[in-house]
C-alpha cells in the first residue's frame, strides 16, 4: 500500500511499452504453466494415485505384519527385509522413527504399494528419483508403480516427526538378476520363523524362542529406539540389559530396579510407569503384544549378553 494517495486521473493514463511487455510475458508464462500442469496430470509418469482407503492404525499394522511374515527373507540392521512376488500388494509402515520393511523388488515388474502411518504424519520421499508423498495415519494410500532401473533407493521422511526424525531412513532395493542380492549382503539371509506350533509333548526350544523373539523385535519396530550392539540410539541398548541394575524414575522419584522378566513385561504393557533415567524425554509408546510375544522377546533379550 502506498503512503501517499495516487494522483487524480492516474487510472486513465496510458501504460508504457515496457510495462505492457512484462505483462504480456507474465500472462504467457501463466498460460504455459497452466497447460503444462494439465498435460503433466494426464500424461505424467509420477502422478500420485488417487486411490485411498480408510483404515485404522491397528488394522493396517496387522496387515503389514502379516505381509512381512509371509514375504520376509531376513533382517538388515533391525529392519525386516521382504521380497514380494511381482504384481502383488506391498505394505510399507511409517512409524517413529523408521520405515518398515525394506523392499527387494524386481526390475520392470509392477507392484501396488500400500502406505500408512502408525502414529503421526510422515513424508515419504524416494531418493534419488525425488518422488514425494504425504503419509497419514488411518489412511491407506495406494501407489501403483514399476521400477525401471536397478539399484538402491532411500526412503527419507521429509515431514518433521520428532526427536528421531533424522534417523528415519528406509530402503528399496531393485534387482535385475539373482546375483544382484550379493551386492547388498542378502544372498545368505536366513528366513525367520513365521510361527512354531507347540503341543504338550513338543515344547518350544530356547533357541526357537530366541528366533521368534528376534522376529518380534523386528516386526514390532523395537529397533527404531533400541539397539542390540551396545550403542545407544534414542532408547537404552538391550545388549547386556537382562539382569542389570537399572535406575528408573517412578512417580518423580529415582529408584533402582533389576531387569528381570517381570520388569520387562511391565515396561511393555505400562511403559510410562517406570522410565529409565536419562530417557525421560523419549517416552516409549504402548505396543500391543500377546503374552507369547512377550515371552519370546524376553528370551531374545536374555540372549543379548555382553
Domains of the chain: 52-184 (2.60.40.420), 206-303 (1.10.760.10)
The most distant pair of C-alpha atoms in the chain lies apart, rounded to whole Å, by: 102
pLDDT tens-place string over residues 268-285: 999 888 888 888 887 788
How many beta carbons lie within 10 A of that of residue 196, not counting itself?
A: 13
Positive or negative: CA dihedral 25, 31, 36, 41: positive
The gap from C-alpha 189 to its chain's centroid, in whole angstroms, comes to: 21
Percent of the chain with pLDDT over 70: 92
- pLDDT for residue 280: 82
Interatomic CA distance for residues 123 and 206, integer angstroms:
40
- pLDDT for residue 45: 57
pLDDT tens-place string over residues 165-210: 888 999 999 999 888 888 888 877 655 454 444 444 556 778 878 8
Interatomic CA distance for residues 200 and 219, integer angstroms:
27
Binning pLDDT at 50, 70 and 90, where does residue 97 land? confident
Q: Please tell me the least confidently modeled range out of 151-160, 197-206, 236-245.
A: 197-206
- pLDDT for residue 49: 61
- pLDDT for residue 24: 93
For the cut 80, the answer to whether the pLDDT of residue 2 exceeds it is no
C-alpha cell, 296: 519370546
Interatomic CA distance for residues 256 and 246, integer angstroms:
6
* Residue 251, φ and ψ in degrees, nearest 5: 55, 40
pLDDT tens-place string over residues 15-64: 888 888 999 999 999 999 999 888 877 776 555 666 889 999 889 988 98
**Mean model confidence pLDDT for the chain:** 84
Amino acid at each position: 500500500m502506498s503512503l501517499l494517495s495516487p494522483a487524480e486521473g492516474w487510472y486513465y493514463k496510458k501504460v508504457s511499452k515496457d510495462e505492457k511487455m512484462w505483462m504480456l510475458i507474465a500472462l504467457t508464462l501463466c498460460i504455459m504453466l497452466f497447460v503444462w500442469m494439465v498435460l503433466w496430470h494426464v500424461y505424467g509418469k509420477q502422478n500420485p494415485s488417487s486411490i485411498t482407503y480408510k483404515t485404522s492404525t491397528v488394522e493396517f499394522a496387522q496387515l503389514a505384519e502379516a505381509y512381512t511374515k509371509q514375504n520376509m527373507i531376513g533382517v538388515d540392521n533391525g529392519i525386516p527385509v521382504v521380497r514380494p512376488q511381482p504384481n502383488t500388494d506391498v505394505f510399507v509402515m511409517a512409524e517413529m522413527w523408521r520405515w518398515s520393511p525394506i523392499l527387494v523388488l524386481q526390475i520392470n515388474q509392477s507392484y501396488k504399494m500400500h502406505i500408512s502411518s502408525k502414529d503421526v504424519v510422515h513424508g515419504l520421499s524416494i531418493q534419488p528419483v525425488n518422488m514425494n508423498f504425504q503419509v497419514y495415519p488411518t489412511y491407506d494410500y495406494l501407489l501403483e508403480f514399476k521400477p525401471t532401473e536397478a539399484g538402491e533407493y532411500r526412503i527419507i521422511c521429509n515431514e518433521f516427526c520428532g526427536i528421531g526424525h533424522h534417523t528415519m531412513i528406509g530402503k528399496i532395493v531393485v534387482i535385475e538378476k539373482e546375483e544382484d542380492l550379493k551386492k547388498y549382503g542378502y544372498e545368505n539371509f536366513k528366513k525367520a520363523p513365521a510361527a512354531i506350533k507347540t503341543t504338550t509333548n513338543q515344547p518350544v526350544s530356547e533357541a526357537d524362542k530366541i528366533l521368534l523373539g528376534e522376529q518380534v523385535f523386528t516386526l514390532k519396530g523395537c529397533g527404531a529406539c533400541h539397539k542390540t550392539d551396545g550403542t545407544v540410539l534414542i532408547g537404552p541398548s538391550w545388549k547386556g540389559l537382562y539382569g542389570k541394575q537399572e535406575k528408573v524414575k517412578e512417580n518423580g522419584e529415582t529408584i533402582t530396579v533389576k531387569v528381570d522378566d517381570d520388569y520387562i513385561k511391565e515396561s511393555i504393557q505400562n511403559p510410562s510407569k517406570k522410565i529409565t533415567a536419562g530417557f525421560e524425554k523419549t517416552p516409549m509408546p504402548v505396543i500391543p503384544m500377546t503374552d507369547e510375544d512377550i515371552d519370546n522377546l524376553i528370551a531374545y533379550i536374555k540372549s543379548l549378553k555382553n
